[in-house]
Amino acid sequence: MAELVEQLREALAGEEGWLVGGALRDDLLGRAVLDLDVACREPERAAREFARIGAGAPFPLSQRHGAWRSVLEDGRTVDFTPLPNGIEQDLATRDFTLNAMARALGDSEILDPFGGRADIVARTIRAVSPGVFEADPLRLLRAVRLEDELGFHCDAETERLVRSHVSLVSQPAGERILGELERLSADGYRRLESLGLLQVLGGSAEQLDRVTLADSPEFRLVCAFGDGLGRFPISRRLDRYARTLLRAEPPLDDSARAIHRFRRATEPWALDALAFTGVPELASAVEAARVNEPLEPLARGDELGLPPGPEIGRLLELIAEERATGTIKTREEALELVRRRPH
């Protein structure tokens, strides 16, 4: 971080600039500092100058608030946010005390008007003011996410504020909500439910016991929201993944035919689908089928002697299934199977 700070000092050319927010928190916690947030008088000018000295590609982050972001080559970001009324006023508008600290660029002294360092020692999430959730309802999710990631807990007053503002949790843009949800563990979702937040978002923690069998941000989202996941602006890949798991039927047994049909319906997510449908004990059968997957088909569509159409696809799948079960092994046997098919 020291090298970045020197580049930021050069970019601001002696003007007032403060490191604020999560970077200071993570530094005090001994966690890796990935992204920086710099409060300054002229964010656009600072971001462009930061880029000029070769330290990032700038673009406007918020036209409404005048914030800019620079993306570094390694993917880290530096956000430049406006400082219209001084650093004390800026910190007063922050969410939680552990994020409401600042340090002037090039200085070692931390400005901590709300006792953030003490709350870090106490492992406490405490709201800066009673209006933090009305100012930005996404902070309701952020409070739980910080608890989850840091192993902290909201103090009694902050938890009371969360519970009294649960109706606001669905107000932020869907992509912002999704960004917080993707970072939650299964315990984080359960905490959302205990506070009443998950229900307002249309989710449930009832199926989250499945994450002991398979776990990923995507898997947890499907467990928590099921068909309702589509209300969020999810990617096409996540949509396909969710549909695959939700439509999956568990194999009847571990026979080659049953496993082939299951894989046909669920790959490349067959193992996750096994966990989701409650039969993870069949994972070894799926993994063995993957290892033994032939590199080339026994026959091509143009070798079946049929006009183009859906029948060719059906027959190629029939050949693949019978090959998987071991009833045919050669091209000749595949073509004979086609010839003997019922018409």
pLDDT band at 8 (very low <50, low <70, confident <90, very high): confident
Q: Determine what percent of the chain is predicted with pLDDT higher than 70.
A: 98
* Rounded CA separation 133/180 (Å): 15
pLDDT at site 192: 98
Q: What is the mean pLDDT of residues 267-288?
A: 96
Q: What is the mean pLDDT of residues 98-102?
A: 96
Q: What is the mean pLDDT of residues 47-69?
A: 81
Q: Does residue 53 have a pLDDT over 70?
A: yes
Query: Which of 1-5, 178-182, 220-224, 232-236 is least confident?
Result: 1-5
Using the structure block, give the residue that is written with the tokens 């049929």.
Answer: 306
Q: Which residue has the higher pLDDT, 73 or 197?
A: 197
pLDDT at site 223: 97
Q: Does residue 144 have a pLDDT over 80?
A: yes
Q: Does residue 170 have a pLDDT over 70?
A: yes
Q: Which residue has the higher pLDDT, 308 or 149?
A: 149
pLDDT at site 343: 62
pLDDT digits (tens, 9 = 90+) for 106-138: 788 999 999 999 999 999 999 999 999 999 999
Contact 134, 173 (CB under 8 A): no
pLDDT at site 307: 81
Q: What is the mean pLDDT of residues 141-151?
A: 98
- Tell me 211's DSSP state: G
* Rounded CA separation 266/330 (Å): 26
Q: Does residue 264 have a pLDDT over 80?
A: yes
pLDDT at site 305: 79
Query: Which of 45-59, 127-141, 151-165, 232-246 is least confident?
Result: 45-59
pLDDT at site 55: 64
Q: Does residue 1 have a pLDDT over 70?
A: no
pLDDT digits (tens, 9 = 90+) for 197-230: 999 999 999 999 999 899 999 999 999 999 999 9
* Rounded CA separation 272/278 (Å): 10
pLDDT at site 77: 86
* Rounded CA separation 107/19 (Å): 10
Enumerate the β-bridge partners of residue 36.
Answer: 78
pLDDT at site 115: 97
* Rounded CA separation 127/112 (Å): 14
What is the overall mean pLDDT for the chain?
92
CB atoms within 10 A of CB 306: 12
According to DSSP H, which parts of 36-185 are helical? 43-52, 87-92, 116-121, 132-135, 138-150, 156-164, 174-181
pLDDT at site 205: 96
Q: What is the mean pLDDT of residues 306-321?
A: 86
